[in-house]
Chain A
Amino acid sequence: MTSVDSDAKTVIFMSVDIVDSTSFKEKGHRLDDDPLWLDAFETFFKEVPLVLMGQIAKAFAMTDDLPDIGVWKVIGDEIVFRAQARSAEEALLITEAFYRTVVTYDASFVERWPLRIRGCCWAARFPGRNIEFGIPEMAGVGYIDYLGPDVDLGFRLISQADRGQVILSMNLAEALAALPERRGMQFHYVDRKVLRGVFLGRPYPLILVTLPDCMPELWQWEENESQQLRTLHDEPPIDAVALVELASRIRTYLNRTCRLSIKLLEF
């Protein structure tokens, strides 16, 4: 394992996966034994990265440069992208592009298969609590890996997102909420949950992001079935100032109780 870059950087990770894919895969085979789910999964893996790049192009239409962004890894039915954000403003545009990708692709995907998708967007600072490194066996293909508690967090957090939703890590939500101009982005504090292996079992806030011009389409039964979706539908978004204050209090609490020294996300 070799460290690849000592320069400080903030990486935004974006994970998108298919909800309830395990039960869908159990549903049977064609007569020729091709699994019925194969088309759906092939389409998902092919199309989502392309749709995201299209949304990146739109979000960054007025900028002179583009972030370094691409697929980091594919795990089962999950695609994880990584993008280096050089400022909170860039992080906002990346998050917006990812959110629009999840919501628009969810709507088109469910028209073709009885499947929904969901996403998670989180941020980690390197180096420090987290490290970026190369694996000698995969040096030829330029594969870079990331490890650390802030990286692991997202993989726990995505399971908390519901159909068509994008959930944010607290550090990213705080950085975006602190921006004076947020391109209409709204935040919803819908719950808090204990995430396995995260912050020594302390509850972690679940914050969803939405854009009023691009809301996920939900069936009534989906809202009835999920407390999180009912909260999203019934409660107004949390005020940005209140979210920044909430995140600050939670960070102080986690630092004290878990003996950590987590700081405000830097770029």
Chain B
Amino acid sequence: MQISVKTTNEVKVLAFEGRLDTQTSPDALQQLTRLIEEGETKILVNLEKVDYISSAGLRVLLVVAKQLKATDGELRICSLNEVVKEVFDISGFDLILPISASESEALEGF
């Protein structure tokens, strides 16, 4: 699992690549939590290049969304590919987390 980080308009944009599952979730959560502890309040996670996201990966997104909400921040998700879209549909996460079709659309929403 690779995570690249950039900043656009005061939003931390994290592009995930690979599988977000039981094995990779702890590292992903650690990186996201560190950003929040450093004071970041607007985080966008781009899932375009994610091969698969398991229930453990969904939990990471939910934990981070709750951490950000506690600091008046916000987590947004963007660029779901077909595999990830199906996972969000099955789990109902498409109705739980704010999802945008593209990075630019998500950035406008912050």
| Chain A interface residues toward B at CB < 8 A | 46-47, 49-58, 63-66, 69-71, 141-142
A interface footprint on B54-65 (CB within 8 Å = 1, 0 otherwise): 111011001100
Question: Do B58 and A53 have beta carbons less than 8 Å apart?
Answer: yes
Question: Do A65 and B91 have beta carbons less than 8 Å apart?
Answer: no
- Identify A51's interface contact among B23, B91, B96, CB under 8 A: B91
Knowing A66-B63, A66-B66, say if A54 contacts B92 (CB, 8 Å): yes
- Identify B91's interface contact among A54, A64, A71, CB under 8 A: A54
Question: Which of B23, B62, B93 neighbours the largest number of chain A CB atoms within 10 Å of its CB?
Answer: B62
Q: What's the dominant secondary structure at chain B's contact region?
A: helix
Question: Do A50 and B91 have beta carbons less than 8 Å apart?
Answer: yes
Q: Is B22 an interface residue (CB 8 A)?
A: yes
- Identify B92's interface contact among A57, A65, A141, CB under 8 A: A57
A91 to B34, CA, bound (A): 29
Question: Do A71 and B55 have beta carbons less than 8 Å apart?
Answer: yes
Knowing A54-B96, A64-B66, A64-B70, say if A70 contacts B58 (CB, 8 Å): no
Closest chain A residue, CB of each to CB of B53 = A50
A-B pairs, 4 with minimum CB distance: A54-B92, A54-B91, A49-B55, A50-B91
Q: Is B106 an interface residue (CB 8 A)?
A: no
- Identify A50's interface contact among B22, B55, B66, B96, CB under 8 A: B55
Closest chain A residue, CB of each to CB of B54 = A49
- Chain A residues with CB under 8 A of B59: 53, 56, 66, 69-70
Q: How far is the CB of B62 from chain A (nearest CB, A)?
A: 5
Q: How far is the CB of B34 from chain A (nearest CB, A)?
A: 18
A69 to B90, CA, bound (A): 18
Question: Do A50 and B63 have beta carbons less than 8 Å apart?
Answer: no
Closest chain B residue, CB of each to CB of A63 = B66
Q: Is B36 an interface residue (CB 8 A)?
A: no
A88 to B90, CA, bound (A): 29
Q: Is B87 an interface residue (CB 8 A)?
A: yes
Closest chain B residue, CB of each to CB of A46 = B90
Q: How far is the CB of B59 from chain A (nearest CB, A)?
A: 6
Knowing A54-B91, A57-B96, say if A66 contacts B62 (CB, 8 Å): yes
Question: Do B58 and A50 have beta carbons less than 8 Å apart?
Answer: yes
User: Which residues of chain B from 54 to 110 have any CB-CB distance to chain A below 8 Å in the complex?
Assistant: 54-56, 58-59, 62-63, 66, 69-70, 87, 90-93, 96
Q: Could you pull out 13 A-B pairs where Cβ atoms are within 8 angstroms?
A: A47-B90, A50-B87, A50-B91, A51-B92, A54-B90, A54-B93, A57-B58, A57-B96, A66-B59, A66-B62, A66-B66, A70-B56, A71-B55
Q: A64-B70, A66-B62 are in contact. List 15 more A-B contacts (CB 8 A).
A: A50-B54, A50-B55, A50-B90, A51-B92, A53-B91, A54-B93, A55-B92, A56-B62, A58-B96, A65-B66, A66-B66, A70-B55, A70-B59, A71-B22, A71-B56
A83 to B23, CA, bound (A): 17
Question: Which of A49, A63, A71 neighbours the largest number of chain B CB atoms within 10 Å of its CB?
Answer: A49
Closest chain A residue, CB of each to CB of B90 = A50
Q: How far is the CB of A120 from chain B (nearest CB, A)?
A: 19
Closest chain B residue, CB of each to CB of A55 = B92
Question: Do B70 and A51 have beta carbons less than 8 Å apart?
Answer: no
A interface footprint on B1-38 (CB within 8 Å = 1, 0 otherwise): 00000000000000000000011001000000000000
